[in-house]
């Protein structure tokens, strides 16, 4: 439930209500808005029998949260959360485009890609160093050397960087290089990884499991918030359907639905969502049109030679053309890019 304090509630009243809730066994999270403070209380409501919180000084009302995800829900926090990725704000009025190769292959490849996507308007650089591959014979990434290249290119370009972390014991290492941790579709319900990422001071982008319900995705995000990390970005990256003409089916419904249910920013990944380079720009446009806060897109100087996800990777020219179109859509829906 949440306890909404009156507009003029004093610090002392807020502290008393928080303490009362802690004494009753609730976990307490304060959220201070411009007008009023809202106290989130997570725990067993049964202990409230005979307790009248609304009678306490400074309390305006007590609102139960009906959703199974609590901290993540719009009922808990009505204002949109803005996540700061190395100085780039995700979830604000300006949409944010993250772009770069699926896999980091070399310094030259990464720098050339970064410079081109940055010139086209991307503000965060993506690149995989630890790659989850369907086949054990696929390229599995450069590992820590990839992270070093990412940090070197950030140094050169000033772009914050996002990269995937696959194992709980890698979180600290990856977080020491990255501005944002990416949790991939195959790990959305790796609860040990979520618990570890929740301890990180770096924001997390949580990709939707390819067969996960929106509710399961939000419950996975709840692990991050409940563990103490409130800087979470949701990413719709396509789900499994009966369709075989595309690699996955980008679930556009999920974007406005997740934004209705949650205050967290939502970005879309039209690269993995389609698996087909020619469909990336149309679905990028669609994602922004339905209200996504940004995009994550794979681009490479020579897609045909990319060591992973070549078929869905845009050339640097195609990426620039896509950005042009995305900007018009962003403006049409009252955002900028
Ligand atoms: C990726 O971003 O390269 C990736 C592996 O994404 P996903 O987890 O969505 O498949
Ligand atoms: Mn990829």
Nearest residue (by CA) to ligand 1, atom 4, is: 184
Pair of tokens at residue 103: 């896999």
Pair of tokens at residue 299: 């681009």
Give 273 Cα–ligand 1 centroid separation in angstroms.
10
pTM value? 0.93
At 33 the pLDDT is: 75
At 78 the pLDDT is: 87
Summarize pLDDT for 68-110 with one digit per residue, the tens: 998 999 988 889 999 999 999 999 999 999 999 999 999 999 9
From the CB of 285, is ligand 1 less than 6 Å away?
Answer: no
Mean pLDDT, all residues of the chain: 96
Task: Give the nearest ligand 1 atom to 132 CA.
Answer: 5
Write out residues in the chain with pLDDT < 50, as ranges. none
At 36 the pLDDT is: 85
Nearest residue (by CA) to ligand 1, atom 9, is: 185
Give 308 Cα–ligand 2 centroid separation in angstroms.
6
State the Cα–Cα distance between residues 193 and 178, nearest whole angstrom. 16
Report the DSSP pairing between strands 180-183 and 204-207: parallel
At 45 the pLDDT is: 85
Summarize pLDDT for 17-62 with one digit per residue, the tens: 999 999 999 999 888 877 888 899 988 888 988 899 999 999 999 9
Task: Give the nearest ligand 1 atom to 182 CA.
Answer: 2
At 119 the pLDDT is: 98
Mutate to test the pocket of ligand 1, among 124, 128, 234 (most ligand atoms within 8 A of CB): 128
From the CB of 185, is ligand 1 less than 6 Å away?
Answer: yes
State the Cα–Cα distance between residues 283 and 210, nearest whole angstrom. 17
User: Domains, the chain, ranges and CATH?
Assistant: 2-63 (3.30.70.1140), 83-332 (3.20.20.70)
At 35 the pLDDT is: 81
Residue whose pair of structure tokens reads 């049109």 in the numeric block: 289
State the Cα–Cα distance between residues 269 and 238, nearest whole angstrom. 8
What beta strand segments (E) does the chain contain? 2-5, 27-32, 37-42, 59-63, 83-85, 88-90, 96-100, 124-126, 161-164, 180-183, 204-207, 232-236, 266-268, 294-298
């Amino acid at each position: 439930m949440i306890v909404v304090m009156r507009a003029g509630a004093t610090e002392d009243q807020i502290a008393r209500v928080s303490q009362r809730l802690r004494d009753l066994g609730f976990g307490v999270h304060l959220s201070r808005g411009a007008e009023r403070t809202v106290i989130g209380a997570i725990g067993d409501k049964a202990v409230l029998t005979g307790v009248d919180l609304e009678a306490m000084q400074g309390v305006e009302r007590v609102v139960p949260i009906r959703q199974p995800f609590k901290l993540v829900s719009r009922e808990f926090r009505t204002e949109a959360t803005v996540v700061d990725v190395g100085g780039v704000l995700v979830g604000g009025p300006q949409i944010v485009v993250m772009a770069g190769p699926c896999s980091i292959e070399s310094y030259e490849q990464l720098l050339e890609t970064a410079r081109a996507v940055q010139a086209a308007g991307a503000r965060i650089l993506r690149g995989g160093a630890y790659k989850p591959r369907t086949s054990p014979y696929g390229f599995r990434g450069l590992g820590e050397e990839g992270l070093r290249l990412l940090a070197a290119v950030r140094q050169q370009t000033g772009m914050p960087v996002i990269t995937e972390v696959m194992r709980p014991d890698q979180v600290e290492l990856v977080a020491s290089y990255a501005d944002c941790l990416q949790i991939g579709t195959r790990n959305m319900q790796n609860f040990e990884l979520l618990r570890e990422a929740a301890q990180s001071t770096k924001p997390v982008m949580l990709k939707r499991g390819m067969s996960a319900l929106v509710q399961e995705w939000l419950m996975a995000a709840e692990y991050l918030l409940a563990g103490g990390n409130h800087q979470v970005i949701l990413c719709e990256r396509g789900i499994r359907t009966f369709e075989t003409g595309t690699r996955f089916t980008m679930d556009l419904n999920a974007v406005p639905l997740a934004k209705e249910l949650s205050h967290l920013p939502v970005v879309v990944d039209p690269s993995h969502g389609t698996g087909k380079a020619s469909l990336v720009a149309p679905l990028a446009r669609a994602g922004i049109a339905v209200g996504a806060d940004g995009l994550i897109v794979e681009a490479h100087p020579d897609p045909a030679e990319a060591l992973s996800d070549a078929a869905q990777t845009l050339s640097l020219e195609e990426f620039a053309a896509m950005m042009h179109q995305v900007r018009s859509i962003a403006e049409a829906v009252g955002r900028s890019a």
